């Protein structure tokens, strides 16, 4: 790591980036516009965890810009997870540039895309080196991010992310970066993700096309992915089928959500449980609206749980290998359930996908009763 007080250091005065931003803002004419480019993390859950930091910086900078009638345009870059905000109103985010769909394949192409309208700042919440180099080559006035990748000399400020476990929850690993950018008084604050601001309200038509009768529904988020054994509730079918039975008994329609790769598995589970499957049928903004309109969500530790929690709706998260004190989704009505690794499975057969043995914590999900998860969700829903 670079020594204190030089580019790339994590030992600089809090608010240093705010001072740089104010200087850059002074060069923008009154009533003009300035752009901010933000590289988001890879996975959907990590994208949601970066939002408290991004919104804190955004709020602080927009207050300064508003004093002179300057409009800030925030552009998000990243993998498919950022399409959660692709339908956002312009006042939230100006654009979302997804890696797979953009021609910005090199730092030079990214720099050329600015076409004389150089960003006032580049913030990097990922390990991507491309945007660091583009910001440095382009002489962007404010350049900061996490230090887990290479080329950290491109930054004016950076701080570690993965090695900051002493800070507790992953959200707080961005605290040093946030305070450098927005000042020492800034707080990492939860903000509800409202489908009215972020799009996705067209999910009602998707639900109706799947057979929804317009009544209350609950979202279930299994993860049948064979590669993600640490994020599954074993065995796959029994707990979810029992949850579907409990939901239907109370007049609530079970709706299973997942990616297109889960479509076949979840359609089978939905048919057996008398529910609906929207796996592979919703965009991420529609998933946001789906969970926002539900009685609540029960999911394993995946992006579905993070999106549901961020809407403020009741969310129960089933933890296997994950560490909830680091990874619990952000939201006001979230509870984690974990099984006893020394306990006995409640289900007749414990799944061993592809012959791979489960760790004690992975197998412990078999000790979490579906009835318990349903009861906890009902408690949250009644608050």
CATH number of residue 349's parent domain: 3.40.50.2000
Choose from 114-118, 306-310, 360-364 the range with maximum mean pLDDT.
Answer: 306-310
| Band of residue 237 on the pLDDT scale cut at 50, 70, 90 | confident
- The residue with greater pLDDT, 57 or 164, is 57
Single residue among 147, 171, 191 that ends a domain in this structure: 191
**360 and 308 in a common domain:** yes
Mean pLDDT (whole number) for 164-171: 78
> Residue 327: which domain range?
196-382
Maximum distance among all alpha carbons in the chain? Answer: 70
Is residue 297 assigned to a domain?
Answer: yes
Is residue 5 assigned to a domain?
Answer: no
pLDDT for position 280:
92
- Residue 210: how many CB atoms within 10 A of its CB? 16
Whether residue 352 is predicted with pLDDT greater than 60 in this model: the reply is no
**154 and 223 in a common domain:** no
- DSSP for 285-333 reads HHHHHHHHTSS-EEEESSHHHHHHHHTT--EEEEESSS-HHHHPPPSSS
**173 and 146 in a common domain:** yes
Is residue 163 assigned to a domain?
Answer: yes
**343 and 206 in a common domain:** yes
| DSSP assigned state of 3 | P
**87 and 160 in a common domain:** yes
Whether residue 355 is predicted with pLDDT greater than 90 in this model: the reply is no
Single residue among 191, 209, 231 that ends a domain in this structure: 191
**206 and 175 in a common domain:** no
For the segment 70-123, what is each residue's pLDDT rounded down to a tens digit? 999 999 999 999 999 999 999 899 999 998 777 777 888 888 888 889 999 999
Q: Name 263's bridge partners.
A: none
pLDDT for position 225:
67
**373 and 261 in a common domain:** yes
For the segment 145-154, what is each residue's pLDDT rounded down to a tens digit? 999 889 999 9
Is residue 245 assigned to a domain?
Answer: yes
- Residue 235, preceding bond cis, omega within 30 degrees? yes
Whether residue 205 is predicted with pLDDT greater than 50 in this model: the reply is yes
Asked if 219 contacts 299 with a C-beta cutoff of 8 angstroms, the reply is yes
For the segment 1-42, what is each residue's pLDDT rounded down to a tens digit? 333 344 565 567 889 999 999 999 999 999 999 999 999 999
Mean pLDDT (whole number) for 118-133: 95
Mean pLDDT (whole number) for 244-254: 97
Report the percent of the chain where pLDDT is more than 90.
Answer: 67
Is residue 6 assigned to a domain?
Answer: no
How far is Cα 291 from Cα 255, in angstroms, rounded to an integer? 10
């Amino acid at each position: 790591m670079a020594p204190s007080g030089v580019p790339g250091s994590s030992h600089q005065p809090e608010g240093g980036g705010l001072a740089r931003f104010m200087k850059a803002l002074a060069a923008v004419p009154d009533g003009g516009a300035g752009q901010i480019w933000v590289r988001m993390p890879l996975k959907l859950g990590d994208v949601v965890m970066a939002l408290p930091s991004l919104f804190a910086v955004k709020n602080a900078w927009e207050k300064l810009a508003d004093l002179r009638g300057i409009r800030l345009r925030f552009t998000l870059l990243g993998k498919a997870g950022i399409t959660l905000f692709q339908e956002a109103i312009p006042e939230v985010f100006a654009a979302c540039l997804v890696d797979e769909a953009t021609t910005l394949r090199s730092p030079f192409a990214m720099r050329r895309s600015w076409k004389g309208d150089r960003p006032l700042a580049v913030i990097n919440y990922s390990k991507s080196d491309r945007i660091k180099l583009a910001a440095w080559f382009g002489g962007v006035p404010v350049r900061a991010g996490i230090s887990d990748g290479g080329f950290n000399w491109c930054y004016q400020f950076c701080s570690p992310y993965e090695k900051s476990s002493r800070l507790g929850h992953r959200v707080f690993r961005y605290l040093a970066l946030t305070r450098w950018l927005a000042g020492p008084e800034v707080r990492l604050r939860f903000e509800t993700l409202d489908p009215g601001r972020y799009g996705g309200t067209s999910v009602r038509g998707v639900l109706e096309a799947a057979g929804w009768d317009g009544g209350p529904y609950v979202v279930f988020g299994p993860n049948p992915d064979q590669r993600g054994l640490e994020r599954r509730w074993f065995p796959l079918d029994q707990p979810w089928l029992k949850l579907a039975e409990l939901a239907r008994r109370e007049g609530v329609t079970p709706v299973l959500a997942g990616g297109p790769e889960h479509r076949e598995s979840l359609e089978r589970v939905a048919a057996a449980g008398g529910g609906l499957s929207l796996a592979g049928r919703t965009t991420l903004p529609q998933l946001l609206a789906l969970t926002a309109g539900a009685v609540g969500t029960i999911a394993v530790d995946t992006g579905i749980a993070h999106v549901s929690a961020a809407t403020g709706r009741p969310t129960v998260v089933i933890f296997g290998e994950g560490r909830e004190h680091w990874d619990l989704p952000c939201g006001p009505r979230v509870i984690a359930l974990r099984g006893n690794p020394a306990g006995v499975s409640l289900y007749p057969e414990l799944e061993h996908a592809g012959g791979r043995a489960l760790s004690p914590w992975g197998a412990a999900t078999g000790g979490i009763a579906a009835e318990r998860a349903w009861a906890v969700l009902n408690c949250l829903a009644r608050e």
